[in-house]
A and B are shown apart, each in its own frame.
Chain A
Amino acid sequence: MVPRLFHARPRGVHPDDRKALSAAMPVETLPLPSILRVSMAQHLGAPATPVVKKGEAVRRGQRIGAASGFISAHVHAPTSGTVKAVQDAPTLSGPPAPAVDIEPDGEDAWTDLQPCPAWRNTPAAALVERIAEAGVVGMGGAGFPTHVKLQPPPEKHIDTLIINGAECEPYLTADYRLMLEDPQRIWTGACIIAHVLGVERVRIAIEDNKPDAIAAMAGVVREFKGDAAVVSLETLYPQGAEKQQIRALLGREVPSGGLPMDVGALVENVATACAVHDAVLTGQPLIERIVTVTGTPVQRPKNVRARIGTCFNDLAGFCGGLKGAAKLIAGGPMMGLAQPSLDGAVTKTASGVLALASEECTAFESLPCIGCGRCIAACPAGLVPAELSLYLEAEDYEAAAACHVMDCIECGCCAYVCPARRPMVQHMRRGKAWAAARSRSR
């Protein structure tokens, strides 16, 4: 095994953040669309199994997909209506997965909810159960089921909870608006998570380019008795990445192949904290989220509160439509998933829909590595992307695994700085897929 590089300072890049397009837009709620397509694969792990049939009537918040394994999550009806179809549909990342199409009946009638206002006197296991029941997953991007994260093995001692409000992806402002408009909900959610884990120390991490969000969160944290603080992070992409954030905040390095809990930390995104609040205090499952619809082709960029399953087309229409869009991305420009059309639908992890005009996306050809070393200086994971990409190009997966391809967080910094325009992240993903398949077969 080749050792990983250790940089004294955090590494990353400074892309133009372009947040001004939508940052000032208060969150608007999208009226119920005519159809909702709810994917069963919105989280990391096994897709949920549909538990409703075509023609069935469902109520808002009713479970329509059941978790199908330890790492999986339930899926719920975003509104009341009729199931129009249960069929495979392409996911945002491509490969098809089961999806449930629901035609809203306009009533938006809730199923029976079980609120739990006395959470402070409720045992942790019961709260975790509620969070699992509500289908809460990490809403920052990866979609790791939250209830799994909240049950660390007993030998792992977690001492710090980090609530992640960095939102380091350019263009996206969904978490920013949430922090400005609903800091109390985030904070209560954070307190519930802290209570479940029994941790005393809570840190809310926000990049220093969002001073008003820092102020808003500091306002609610002030009333807390334990050791809680809002910490401003240097604006640097990818400060929102778990391991990078732990390092910046606590000075602890997550070991190669390890998890944050190995160094006593747990990171949850601000929107996830909000979902935990809802799951416990009101019993509401995760059926909506804030989506930033932005980019120069979008006529009126907005932050939209949309039901899970809302078609991107409906979102674009709500924002005045698109003019001259050449490229569509679900998520942000650095880590988002390119989309062939606006047919995709909002998932629990879809923080944004970004459109780019043709002059903003150059058609390029990728060239051989010129050995400039810029990617090495940029890689926040301390990898040597140039070497990795050469191995992966030659399909020498063994060598790539020995150079820690599994520690790549797919942040895209290497591709961003590469003057030869090499498809670095695609290489890394292939290498990671290979290494994951190998460890499964062992």
Chain B
Amino acid sequence: MVIGGAGLVCGAALAFAARFLAVHEDPRIEKVLDILPGANCGGCAYAGCADYARAIVVDNAPINLCAPGGQEVIDRLAAFLGVASQTRERNVAIVLCGGDDEHAGRKFDYNGIADCAAAHAVAGGDKQCVFGCLGYGTCARVCPVGAIEITPQRIARVHPDVCIGCGACVDACPRHLIRLVPAERRIHVLCSSKDKGPRVKEVCTVGCIGCTRCTRLAENEAIRMDGALAVVDYSKDLESEAVIEKCPTRCIVKR
């Protein structure tokens, strides 16, 4: 009886409070939220779609930050808010390692937890190359859209048409092999090894051996050397496919 009474009183108080203390939100927030895809991926750097919607309306945040929404959402937001449409540079993830089990050796049989971070902590990982992809799919598990495939030869491969560029995988990879790059850049050096050429050859047949040939063939100095590793400068145009053919270990690919 007493408890029921107390409940009633409290309920009444709450109803009263809700009525008089309600925050009057800008109704456009709700509309903007409707336009956003609701993926809540956090790729826009806000804490989910609702937070981003509020930021657009209240803080005039840029409207081209939503990766899953793409150009269509930007256009709809622009129309609704009555501002000029913007374009979005689409970024996609790429795993900078091509040494799958066919081309790069393992140094022992690992049968612990199937997770790259866990495997990496056991004697530095079971791959002979200490830089290469372990293939236990930690990146694939954090990808909100299932864009990463672990191939039967145990290497991670991003499907660029599915990837929304949220960057979750970049942070998850214990080997720091994944980068976000502009989607229109198609030519990549699929290697992250800091080892010198002879050592790379010992452990992997498709690793960069640092011969520097590609740096001379690439236009705009779009490939540079970082020590013994050729690195693509994704801010530069790179179209010439000669680099692909002339790479002695074929570690440069077009995807």
Give every chain A residue within 8 A of B117 (Cβ-Cβ): 430
- Identify the closest chain B residue to A434 (Cβ): B117
Whole-angstrom CA separation of A429 from B124 in the bound complex: 15
A423 touches B112 (CB 8 A): yes
> Is B125 touching A426 in the complex (CB atoms < 8 A)?
no
Q: Give 1 or 0 for each of B94-131: 1 = CB within 8 Å of chain A CB.
A: 00000000000001110111010110111111100010
The prevalent SS among residues of A at the interface is mixed
- Among A17-25, A91-99, A106-114, A268-276, the stretch in contact with B: A91-99
Asked if A363 is an interface residue, CB under 8 A from chain B, the answer is yes
Q: Mark A332-345, 1 if CB is under 8 A from B, else 0.
A: 00000111110000
| A337 to B, closest residue via Cβ | B123
A393 to B, closest residue via Cβ: B113
Contact: B118 with A426, CB < 8 Å? yes
With both chains docked as a complex, state the minimum distance between the C-beta of B108 and any C-beta of chain A, in angstroms.
5
The winner among A340, A363, A393, A423 for most chain B CB atoms within 10 A is A340
Partner of A93 from B111, B123, B125, B126 at Cβ < 8 Å: B123
A340 touches B121 (CB 8 A): no
Known: A94-B124, A96-B130, A340-B123. A430 touches B107 (CB 8 A): no
Establish whether residues B118 and A430, one from each chain, have CB atoms under 8 Å apart when the complex forms.
yes
Residues of A384-410 whose CB lies within 8 A of B = 393
CB-nearest residue of chain B to A365: B111
Question: Across the interface, which residues of B come within 8 angstroms of A423, CB to CB?
Answer: 112-113
Which positions 362-381 of chain A face chain B at CB distance < 8 Å? 363-366
- Docked Cα-Cα span, A429 to B126, in Å, equals 18
* A340 CA to B105 CA, complexed, in Å: 13
Chain B residues bordering chain A, tally (CB within 8 A): 17
Using a CB-CB cutoff of 8 Å, which residues 52-105 of chain A contact chain B? 90, 93-96
Minimum CB–CB distance from B26 to chain A (whole Å) comes to 35
Name which residue of chain B comes closest to A93, CB basis: B123
Q: Is B111 touching A339 in the complex (CB atoms < 8 A)?
A: no
Contacts of B113 in A (CB 8 A): 393, 423, 426-427, 430
A353–B111 Cα distance when bound, in Å, is 21
Contacts of A427 in B (CB 8 A): 113
B120 to chain A, nearest CB (A): 8
Shortest CB-to-CB span from A87 to chain B, Å, is 12
**A171-B64 Cα distance, complex, nearest whole Å:** 64
Query: With A423-B113, A427-B113, A430-B113 as given contacts, are A338 and B123 in contact (CB-CB < 8 Å)?
Result: yes
Closest to B117 in A: A430
Chain B nearest CB from A300 CB (Å) reads 26
Contact with B along A243-268 (1 / 0, CB 8 A): 00000000000000000000000000
Q: How would residues 123 to 167 of chain B score, 1 for a CB under 8 Å from any chain A CB and 0 otherwise? A: 111100010000000000000000000000000000000000000
Is B122's CB under 8 angstroms from A338's CB? yes
Contact partner, A94, options B112, B115, B125, Cβ 8 Å: B125
Please name all residues of chain A whose beta carbon is closer than 8 Å to the beta carbon of B108 when the two chains form the complex: 338, 340
Residues of A with C-beta under 8 A to B125: 94
11 additional A-B pairs beyond A93-B121, A340-B107, A423-B112, beta carbons within 8 Å, are A90-B124, A94-B120, A94-B123, A337-B123, A341-B107, A363-B109, A364-B111, A365-B111, A393-B113, A426-B118, A430-B115
What would 13 A/B residue contacts be, using CB atoms closer than 8 Å? A90-B130, A95-B121, A95-B124, A96-B124, A340-B107, A340-B108, A340-B126, A364-B111, A393-B113, A426-B112, A426-B113, A426-B122, A430-B117
